[in-house]
Amino acid sequence: MTRTVVPLAAEAGKAAVVRPVLLARLDFASGIVRAASAPFDIMAEGEVYAGLGHLGTISAVPESAELQASPVQLTLSGIPPELVSLALLDDYQGRDVRIFLVLLDEGHVLVGTPVLVFRGRMDTMDIELGETATITLTAESRLADWERPRIRRYTDEDQKTVFPDDRGFEFVAQMAEKTIYWGR
């Protein structure tokens, strides 16, 4: 994936202090959750990302030269146990996850524009309960869907599941047993 890190690094090189921060955008069924790895809220492209500080972590975003899916884990700790039920009830599987890299200057102001470093889908959510709860969300790369078979049939019924008004396959069943006389 081509990244726009070079222009971002060039802008950051002009600043005396540069702080890298990761932003996570999670699309849950109940609404979009935005979190930042900084201990304070960050405004990026008109959206506020809640600062989690040391309560939230993101595993390394893997990249390789080979064509393979790589998962990322997002962990949130220090959650009161009574709020765990909210995480269990929300529909999350297969929904969008985006992780951005931003740079902040000395005054905690955004330098450049956010760079997308990972985009995938939420897969599993593991919960550890104790005095406080820890939730670990695993997100799969969109490449994990690459080898999933897409079973389609050349039938009128299958075509109408996608395009209800299409009549292009209406006579396919009749054509299968049709005798065609060529050259008479």
pLDDT digits (tens, 9 = 90+) for 129-148: 878 788 888 888 877 677 77
For β-strands 72-79 and 47-51, DSSP reports them as unpaired
Look at residue 27 and tell me whether its pLDDT is greater than 80.
yes
Strands (E), the chain: 19-28, 31-36, 42-44, 47-51, 56-58, 72-79, 96-104, 110-128, 133-141
User: pTM for the whole thing?
Assistant: 0.70
Task: Flag whether pLDDT at 2 surpasses 60.
Answer: no
Predicted local confidence at residue 38, as pLDDT: 86
Structure tokens at 72: 């990322």
Looking at the chain, the whole-number percentage of residues with pLDDT higher than 70 is 86
* Higher per-residue pLDDT: 68 or 70: 70
Q: What is the pLDDT of residues 79-119, one digit of tens each?
A: 777 667 777 788 888 889 998 988 888 888 888 788 888 88
Closest CA to 77 of 64, 90, 91, 87: 87
Q: What is the mean pLDDT of the chain?
A: 81
Kindly state the average pLDDT of the residues 21-32: 87
Report how far Cα 68 is from the mean position of its chain's Cα atoms.
16
Give pLDDT, residue 15: 67
**Measured between alpha carbons, how far is 63 from 74 in angstroms, rounded to an integer?**
17
The pLDDT of residue 1: 45
As a whole number, mean pLDDT of residues 54-80 equals: 76
Other Cβ atoms closer than 10 A to 168: 10
User: What residue spans define the domains of the chain?
Assistant: 5-148, 149-184
